[in-house]
Amino acid sequence: MTRKPVVSGVFYPSGKEMLRRTIEDSFLGPLGPGEIPAINENRFEKPYGLISPHAGYMYSGQVAAWGFSEIAKLGTPDLVILMGPNHTGYGPPISVYPSGNWETPLGGVEVDEEAVQIILENSSLAKSDTSAHSMEHSLEVQLPFLQYLYGNSFKIVPITMLDQSPNSSSDLSKALLRLISLKPTTLVIASTDLNHYDDHESTLKKDSLIIEAIENNDPRMLYSAVYEAGVTMCGYGAVATLMLMEVGKPKVLKHATSGEVSGDFLEVVGYLSAVYI
């Protein structure tokens, strides 16, 4: 089973060389970290976590580059768990892509079937499913950055969350903790954008609530920002799951909005890159 890219040519270039140049421009751009990272080829010493945005590379690529730059310094993973929101509404509450390969213009990455089974056996909500992934972009856009750094040497477990409630995040986090106890050389990515379509200043204020929750690694604070303060963050369940796993201490690397790229500050989206190391 091969999952073909669905946002290639839309969220990122469809040509291999143009895609590589776009990723390099993300590292080197005015909102990026300013340099192309040197890759630490040693295997991870422990699991690490990453919060990464998932808009088109034109808008969020430079923010995303901060996190991938930091991860590259830490080493090379054998397994990458990709968690994100289900934007389409298809599939079960938690959908785990079961097998095969995910393709991008940079090649194919294999799904770790053994890891998938460990998750399914330890979660009451996660189900084997492809429908939720058929048109979903939040996980796909992470892959070219990973492939740029590591080639196709790692395996993946793609997970989308239609149910992003505290119960769902708790259930998934326990299954993932079991997985990383068996496969510790793992990177856990929570894919999310932050507040959507308010003006720039309002978005900065709302996003600051999310940043505070991440810096304190506090899922309750995160859910309060979403449920009570109205922060329209799309992947909050994935971030809460990562928080509950406690794979390391949080470090916020970069925050920006789409307005800082487009010049339109009336309706913006917030983007954040953070690591757990």
**Is residue 102 within 8 Å of residue 156, measured between CB atoms?**
yes
Please tell me the predicted confidence (pLDDT) of residue 1: 87
Question: Rounded CA gap, 18 and 22, in Å?
Answer: 6
Q: List the one residue out of 68, 73, 55, 62 whose CA is nearest residue 22.
A: 62
Q: Classify residue 30 as exposed, middle or buried by CB count within 10 Å of its CB (0-12, 13-18, 19+).
A: exposed
Over residues 54-80, the mean pLDDT reads 97
> Given CA atoms 149, 151, 153, 154 in this order, what sign does their dihedral have?
positive
Q: What CATH number should be reported for the domain holding residue 258?
A: 3.40.830.10
Q: How many domains does the chain have?
A: 1
pLDDT at 166 over 90: yes
Question: Rounded CA gap, 26 and 135, in Å?
Answer: 25
**Tokens at residue 139, please?**
């996980």
pLDDT at 272 over 90: yes
Question: Rounded CA gap, 237 and 15, in Å?
Answer: 33
Determine phi and psi for 67, rounding to 5 degrees: -70, -45
**Is residue 91 within 8 Å of residue 129, measured between CB atoms?**
yes
Question: Rounded CA gap, 45 and 142, in Å?
Answer: 22
Mean per-residue pLDDT over the chain, rounded: 97
Question: Rounded CA gap, 77 and 71, in Å?
Answer: 9
pLDDT in tens, 21-31: 999 999 999 99
Tally of residues, the chain: 277
pLDDT in tens, 76-124: 999 999 999 999 999 999 999 999 999 999 999 999 999 999 999 999 9
pLDDT in tens, 135-157: 999 999 999 999 999 999 999 99
**Is residue 155 within 8 Å of residue 115, measured between CB atoms?**
yes
**Is residue 86 within 8 Å of residue 162, measured between CB atoms?**
yes
Boundaries of domain holding 254: 2-276
pTM (two decimals): 0.97
pLDDT in tens, 183-224: 999 999 999 999 999 999 999 999 999 999 999 999 999 999
